[in-house]
Chain A
Amino acid sequence: MMRKLFPFARKYSFYAILSPVFIVCEVMMEVRIPFVMAKIVDYGIMRRDISLIYDKGLEMLVMAFISLTCGALAARFAAVAGIGFGSEVRKGVFNRILDFSFANIDRFSTPSLITRLTTDINMVQNTFMMMLRMFVRSPLMLVSAVIYAVRINVRLASVFFAAIPLMAVVIAIFGNIAFPRFKKMFEKYDKFNASIQENLIAIRVVKSFVRSRYEKEKFRVSNDDLKKASVNAEKLMTIASPFMMLMMYSCIVAVLWFGSKLILRHGMQVGELSSFISYITQILMSLMMLSVVFVMSVISKASVSRLCEVLDEVPDISDADADASLEVADGSVEFRNVSFRYGDGKNILENISLSIKPGETIGIIGGTGSSKSSLVQLIPRLYDATEGEVLVGGHPVKKYTIENLRKSVSMVLQKNLLFTGTVEENLRWGNENATLNEIRRVSDIAQADGFVSGFSQGYATDLGQGGVNVSGGQKQRLCIARALLKKPKILILDDSTSAVDTSTDSKIREGLKKYRPGTTTIIIAQRIHSVESADRIVVLDNGRIDAVGTHAELLESNEIYKEVYISQLEGSDVE
Chain B
Amino acid sequence: MSKNNKNIPRRAGKGTGGHGGGRGFEKPKNARMVFSRLFGYIIKNKLLLLLVAVLVIFSSGSAVFGTYMLKPIINIISDAVKSGSVEGVISQIVPKLIFMGIIFAVGVVSQYIYARLMLNLSQSTLNTIRRDLFEHLQDLPVSFFDSRTHGEVMSRFSNDVDTLREAITQGLPQMITSAVSIVGIFVMMLVISPPLTLLVVVLIIIVTNLMKFIGKRSASYFRKQQEAVGKVNGYVEELIEGQKVVKVFCRERQTKEGFDALNEEYRKAATNAHTYASILMPIMNNISYVNYAVTSIVGAVMIVNGGIFGIGVSLSLGSLVSFLQYTRQFFQPLTMVSQQFNNLLAALAGAERIFEIIDLPPEEDDGYVTLVNAAKDSDGNLKESEAYTGMWAWKHPHSKDGSVTYTELRGEIVFDDVTFSYDGETEVLKNITLKAESGQKIAFVGSTGAGKTTITNLLNRFYDVPDGKIRYDGINIKKIKKDDLRRSLAMVLQDTHLFTGSIKDNIAYGKLDATDDEIIAAAKLANAHSFIEKLPQGYDTLLSSDGTNISQGQRQLLSIARAAVANPPVLVLDEATSSIDTRTERLIEKGMDKLMENRTVFVIAHRLSTVRNSDKIIVLEHGEIIEQGNHEHLLALRGKYYSLYTGQFVLD
Contacts and interface: CB of A to CB of B under 8 A. Distances in A.
A1 interface: no
Interface in A545-572: 560, 563-564, 567-572
Given A87-B266, A119-B18, A571 B612 contact: yes
Contact of B274 (A82, A208, A210): A82
Contact of B606 (A260, A499, A575): A499
Interface in B293-336: 293-294, 296-297, 300-301, 303-305, 317, 320-321, 324-325, 328
Contacts of B290: 61, 64-65, 68
B404 interface: no
Nearest to B245: A417
B515 interface: no
B150 interface: yes
B119 A235 contact: yes
A382 B154 contact: no
Contacts of A574: 631-632, 635
A60 B500 contact: no
B263 A90 contact: yes
Interface stretch (B135-143, B349-357, B389-397): B135-143
A125 B153 CA distance: 27
Given A122-B17, A223-B131, A575 B636 contact: yes
Given A406-B250, A419-B242, 9 more contacts: A54-B297, A68-B283, A72-B283, A75-B275, A75-B279, A97-B243, A210-B483, A223-B131, A245-B107
B249 interface: yes
A64 B243 contact: no
B287 A567 contact: no
Interface in A415-450: 415-417, 419-420, 429-430
Contacts of A91: 259-260, 263
A219 B135 contact: yes
Contact of A403 (B123, B233, B250): B250
B317 A45 contact: yes
A264 B112 contact: no
Interface string A23-56: 0001001100100010011001110111001100
Contact of B90 (A79, A260, A465): A260
Interface in B562-585: 562, 566, 579-585
Contacts, number: 446
A264 B116 contact: no
B462 interface: yes
Interface in A87-119: 87, 90-91, 94-95, 97-102, 105, 109-110, 113-114, 117-119
B240 A113 contact: yes
B135 A503 contact: no
B244 A208 contact: no
Most chain B beta-carbon neighbours within 10 Å: one of A197, A238, A466, A473: A238
B154 A570 contact: no
A568 to B, nearest CB: 5
A231 B632 CA distance: 68
Interface stretch (A144-152, A269-277, A345-353): A269-277
Contact of B236 (A114, A242, A411): A114
Interface string B594-612: 0000000000001111001
Contacts of A514: none
A326 interface: no
B250 A122 contact: no
B242 A133 contact: no
A67 B289 contact: yes
Contact of B487 (A99, A210, A260, A482): A210
B197 interface: no
A214 interface: yes
Contacts of A208: 460, 486, 489-491
A194 interface: yes
A68 B287 contact: yes
Given A87-B263, A126-B20, A270-B78, A98 B142 contact: no
Contacts of B6: 469
Q: In the A-B complex, list the 5 residue pairs whose CB atoms are closest, starting with the nearest.
A: A71-B282, A57-B297, A202-B497, A60-B293, A68-B286
Main secondary structure of the interface of A (DSSP, over half): helix
Interface string B416-455: 0000000000000000000000000000000111000000
Contact of A214 (B139, B285, B512, B562): B512
A369 B554 CA distance: 11
Nearest to A405: B250
Nearest to A414: B244
B264 interface: yes
A270 B500 contact: no
Given A118-B18, A118-B233, A193 B491 contact: no
Interface in B139-194: 139, 142, 145, 150, 153-154, 157-158, 169
A245 B111 contact: yes
Given A75-B281, A97-B243, A529-B647, A201 B304 contact: no
Contacts of A67: 282, 286, 289
Given A205-B491, A567-B609, A413 B74 contact: no
Interface in A258-283: 260-261, 263-265, 270, 273-274, 277-278, 281
13 contacts: A26-B286, A45-B317, A60-B293, A71-B282, A118-B236, A204-B491, A215-B138, A231-B120, A245-B63, A257-B93, A257-B97, A277-B325, A406-B249
Contacts of A133: 278
Contacts of B644: 501-503
Nearest to B281: A75
B97 A45 contact: no
B367 interface: no
A76 B214 CA distance: 13
A130 to B, nearest CB: 10
B256 A567 contact: no
A402 interface: yes
A161 interface: no
A48 B303 CA distance: 9
A367 B240 contact: no
Contacts of B534: none
A30 B143 CA distance: 61
Given A197-B154, A224-B127, A97 B240 contact: yes
A242 B112 contact: yes
